[in-house]
Amino acid sequence: MMKGKKGIVFGVANQRSIAWGIASKLMENGAEVAFSYMGERLKGNLEKLLADKPNAKMYDCDCSDESQIQRVADQYKADFGTCDFVVHAIAFADKSYLEGDFLPTPKDVFLQAMDVSAYSLVSITRSFRPFMNRGCSILALTYLGSERVVQNYNVMGVAKAALEACVRYLASDLGPHGIRVNAISAGPVNTLAARGISDFTHLLKIHRRVAPLRENTTPEHAGGAGLFLLSDLSFGMTGEIMYVDGGYNVTAVGNLDAYNLSADSKD
Ligand code: NAD
């Protein structure tokens, strides 16, 4: 499905990363994949994951620094010439504010979450745009906490709302050039980033009790949908937020057994 296509994946931290689920599917399907990681420690993880691909290109990048994004774009262009896909699977917020109320969130924490988790998509897209082929597909990762309140998700929910709006505006800008921009809204996955959210294991438990498919989302689930969105199979789709969450988003009151109602003494 991806034979002859080449592109870059931002955000593999380890084998549990959603980005790794997507990159694995891309490589299995014949894509040539370059990687961007943040810092030496994560480079070591990537090198282990790519042990059977010693020639894979990897670029260090802190995406809060636009000059580093531009440097990666320049390095990528020198190595590959053109680009058929970009995966943005990066997010950050100070975990002290991923618990309790949203109201106390300080301005610097708010702006940093927005910068790394939303603006970086704009910045990466702009830097790679000059050498994107017609048919290029860009993919970001989001979560339902952008649209509805998920306790403790707080400032990340606001940043994801901004990210989703960026997807739509970028899709509108780039559509006339045959470049598509979409996002996957994944259900909770137990990753490094997710473990920064307070009580995250409760979220996982609620999800697998309530979601119609009664299971947790995995990087492989996101990988399958990512492959579709990055391949030509989805050539009629842009500006879309596609749910890969076992159907959780369609439920209001789901499986009643999930709520332990008989234990509530007030009824
Ligand atoms: P992860 O920890 O595996 O990946 C997060 C990545 O963001 C890491 O590789 C980290 O290095 C990178 N990152 C953070 N700050 C950065 C910076 N300044 N510059 C460059 N990279 C930076 O976790 P994940 O859950 O796989 O996250 C990938 C994406 O999926 C994120 O956008 C996340 O919000 C989204 N997502 C996650 C879940 C979930 O439950 N895990 C659900 C829906 C969406």
CATH number, residue 51: 3.40.50.720
Q: What is the pLDDT of residue 261?
A: 81
142 in a structural domain: yes
**CB 203 near ligand 1, within 6 Å:** no
Q: Is residue 234 part of a domain?
A: yes
The preferred substitution site among 90, 116, 153, 163 for testing ligand 1, maximizing ligand atoms within 8 Å of CB, is: 90
Evaluate the CA torsion angle 205, 211, 213, 214 in order and state its sign.
Answer: positive
- 3-class secondary structure per residue, 203-221: HHHHHHHHCCCCCCCCHHH
Order the strands of the 180-186 sheet from edge to edge: 58-60, 32-37, 6-10, 83-88, 132-142, 180-186, 241-244
Can you tell me which atom of ligand 1 is nearest the CA of 193?
A: 2
109 pLDDT more than 70: yes
Q: Given the CA of residue 14, which atom of ligand 1 is nearest to it?
A: 3
Structural domain range at position 179:
6-248
Opening angle at CA 146, ends 144 and 152, nearest 5:
85
List the beta strands (DSSP E) in 153-265.
180-186, 241-244
Question: Each residue of 86-104: pLDDT tens digit?
Answer: 999 999 999 999 999 999 9
Write down the pTM of the prediction: 0.97
- Does any domain span residue 254? no
> Of the listed 59, 97, 143, 248, which one is catalytic?
143
Within-domain flag for 256: no
189: Cβ below 6 Å to ligand 1? yes
Count the domains in the chain: 1
Residue 118 lies in a domain: yes
Instruction: Return the structure tokens found at 118.
Output: 């939303």
**52 burial class (0-12, 13-18, 19+ CB within 10 angstroms)?**
exposed
156 CA closest ligand 1 atom index: 34
The two beta strands, 32-37 and 241-244, are: unpaired
User: Which residue type, as a one-letter code, is found at position 155?
Assistant: V
* 234-243 mean pLDDT: 98
Catalytic (active site) residue 153:
yes
Is pLDDT at 267 greater than 60 in this prediction?
no
Ligand 1 contacts CB of residue 145 (under 6 A): no
Which element (helix H / strand E) includes 224?
helix 219-230
Residue 264 lies in a domain: no
Distances (CA, A) of 218 to 16, 21, 42, 155, 264: 9, 8, 21, 24, 32
Tell me whether strands 132-142 and 83-88 are parallel, antiparallel or unpaired. Answer: parallel
* 261 in a structural domain: no
* Residue 258: inside a domain: no
Tens digit of each residue's pLDDT (9 = 90 or more) over 172-229? 999 999 999 999 999 999 999 999 999 999 999 999 999 999 999 999 999 999 999 9
